[in-house]
Structure 1
Amino acid sequence: MEPLTPSPKPSIKELGLDLMTLSGFQLWVTLFLPFAFFVLYFLLAANNYWIPAVLSTMALSFTTYGSTSHDLVHENLKLNKTLNAAFLSILELLCFRSGHAYKLSHLYHHKRFPHEDDVEGAASRMSLGRTLVEGVVFQFKIYFWALSQSRGRKFHTLIIAEGVSVLAFIAFCIYSAQYTSLFLVYMFLMIAGSWIIPLVTSYLVHTPHGANELRQTRLFRGAFFSAIAFNHLFHLEHHLYPMVPHKNWPRLAKRLDAYFRKEGIEPLEVKF
């Protein structure tokens, strides 16, 4: 039987405070890589290189919600609060999403998972088919949830402004179609790209009926999962230490391996 209470996890100080810092180059790459993919899409699409252009939008979606925006949500990049908020709003706007609705729902997910009031983690309790449908409505759900939760708080006006900005960006993309299809295609690609978020960030990585926090999120290891997730599939590690920026997740994972073995946590691994 799985123990209800795991052994105390190592403190971040025991694991190494270096896990919480990035070099100047790492910070620069983290902040500006999504903008590079945004520009790259239009350069490639304008010259009819559509396959790499589509791949650029996929990279943009990945490097925002799962990487840079995620670090901004947790304020892991050590930026001042105003600059952190501005980057979060702008980067998520590029993907037709509200950055601060994401922040509110994601921090609540960390606080409440696996409880049923966790809107972000809801897909972990759904069937695969229902999860795919959830992807289509997910951004609407977290946006209106965040609006109701933020009423009377400092985020409320900002979330409204982000929603209006998304609508204005959509209107611009539709209007521009009479001159060029680039923005309209971009809009459809980015919105459709967000449909897999509940599948990837909730359904595939969580086991909500596990006995404790070590068994409510899957542990992944091996070259296969590292390759398909671009070295990002460290969800259990992230739940345990949300203050660690994504570029340091691989090092965090190595330092936690002994603790996981001690607790009997078996990783999912594909061996060839």
Structure 2
Amino acid sequence: MRHLSNNHSLANIEWQDLRQLGVTETVYNVLLSLPFLLLSWWSAAQSFWLLALVSSFFFFVAALRQAHDCYHRTLGVSKVATELMLFMLSITMLCSTHAIRHTHLNHHRDPLGDSDVEGNWARLPWYKAIVGGGKFSIAIQWFGLTHESRRNRLLVVIDMVLISAVITTAFITMHPVLMYHVLVMLVANMLVGFFAVWSVHHGCDELVYARSERHPLINLLTFNLLYHIEHHLFPAVPTNHLPELAKRLDTIAPEWTQQPVIPILASKTLCSIQTANDVISKKTTNNKGDNVIYINNHIAKNNANSQPTRTKLSANTNRVLAINNSDILFKKPADHVSHVSHLDHKYSCPIGGALKRLGSA
């Protein structure tokens, strides 16, 4: 993993023990979406449309997790079983998971880079990410089809034949349950670019290129898919164990986990900022006259009118206004850094709240 060789804090994180799955966890992974799929079909047959829509939502999110685990071979099953699982998911989700697998693995090789067809969707404004969702769905499948090996292209073609058969059957028979499923899945695929890509990558850069969610209810409802920076840093760790990996990151390398997926929910959540000898890497001044401090290559801006003189951040006078695009904005000019090589404090802050010192000076 290329991140570990040049990042001391990440290199200290134990993760190999999180790779193994138990039998119960594997069975859970394989069957995760099935109850929601069956419930959605039954609800549609009974004309319980609200229950059907809610069930379809959870089916699609659970199926996204299953497909995602298949892409990274972390579902807990053999290679052959993984391929069969992808075929089943292609039929039920109505998208070529074999094509998307190639696009997604390229996203991991070059996150938010020039070749990242998937991740660069997050550079759009939120409304364009939603409105153009159909284009996104086509793009990630087309990229996979046109850049795959000959063998994998055959798998994509099989996906497309199976998907076409399902859609054709629905329109020929006009079976209400099948028609409902086809229409809902087509809409779901048009929204996946916003919910599965934009939400976890927008406002990020090529240094810290993904967000992570800490709200327990949100993570429960999304089957742990929003532990996203954790997944990018350690893609061999199964989704089942991302909560434990998140705890280790928060303790050892919290600079990676400061961008929440849903900021409004994080406003009351304590986020750790741990400083070490190599935290502050440089200090400069931008074209507005603001003092700019780089903390582990993240920009900490002090909107100061006067030149700061202290060499430590004050735990009492500075206030975090926002964390966006890896920028930490401090309101007050007093007690900011003019020239430092290290900080020897540990701080924590609620986003939008005052810094509090955890360690001693």
- Coarse TM-score class (shorter-chain normalised): 0.7 to 0.9
Offset, 1:230: 4.7
Give the match for residue 246 of structure 1. Answer: 239
Percent identity, aligned pairs only? Answer: 25
Offset, 1:224: 6.0
Q: Which of 102, 110, 125 is the matching residue for 2:123?
A: 125
Offset, 1:229: 3.6
Matched ranges for 1:165-180 at <5 A: 165-177=162-174, 180=175
Tell me if the contact between 1:114 and 1:208 (Cα under 8 Å) persists in the aligned partners.
no
Matched ranges for 1:3-152 at <5 A: 6-10=7-11, 14-65=13-64, 67-150=65-148, 152=149
Give the match for residue 178 of structure 2. Answer: 183
Determine whether 1:259 maps to 2:252: yes
Structural RMSD (CA)? 2.2
Tell me if the contact between 2:129 and 2:193 (Cα under 8 Å) persists in the aligned partners.
yes
Determine whether 1:201 maps to 2:193: no
- How far, CA to CA, are the matches of 1:192 and 1:264 in structure 2? 33
- How far, CA to CA, are the matches of 1:37 and 1:97 in structure 2? 18
TM-score scaled by length of structure 2: 0.66
TM-score scaled by length of structure 1: 0.87
Q: Are the structure 2 counterparts of residues 228 and 38 from structure 1 closer, same or farther at C-alpha, using a change threshold of 3 Å? A: closer
Amino acid aligned to 1:101: A
Q: Are the structure 2 counterparts of residues 217 and 181 from structure 1 closer, same or farther at C-alpha, using a change threshold of 3 Å? A: same
Name whichever structure is richer in strand by fraction.
2
Amino acid aligned to 1:80: S
- How far, CA to CA, are the matches of 2:82 and 2:206 in structure 1? 36
* Count, aligned residues: 259
Structure with higher RCO (Cα < 8 A, 6+ apart): 1
Name whichever structure is richer in helix by fraction.
1
- How far, CA to CA, are the matches of 2:226 and 2:257 in structure 1? 16
Q: Deviations over 1:91-113 (max 9, x none)?
A: 13201011111111110100011
- Any idea what SS the aligned residue of 1:113 has? coil
Structure 1 residues not aligned, in runs of 5+: none
Q: Which of 192, 205, 226 is the matching residue for 1:210?
A: 205
Q: Are the structure 2 counterparts of residues 21 and 127 from structure 1 closer, same or farther at C-alpha, using a change threshold of 3 Å? A: same
Say which one has the larger Rg. 2
- How far, CA to CA, are the matches of 2:28 and 2:40 in structure 1? 18
Q: Are the structure 2 counterparts of residues 208 and 266 from structure 1 closer, same or farther at C-alpha, using a change threshold of 3 Å? A: closer
- How far, CA to CA, are the matches of 1:264 and 1:190 in structure 2? 34
- Any idea what SS the aligned residue of 2:102 has? helix
- Any idea what SS the aligned residue of 2:201 has? coil
Give the match for residue 154 of structure 1. Answer: 151
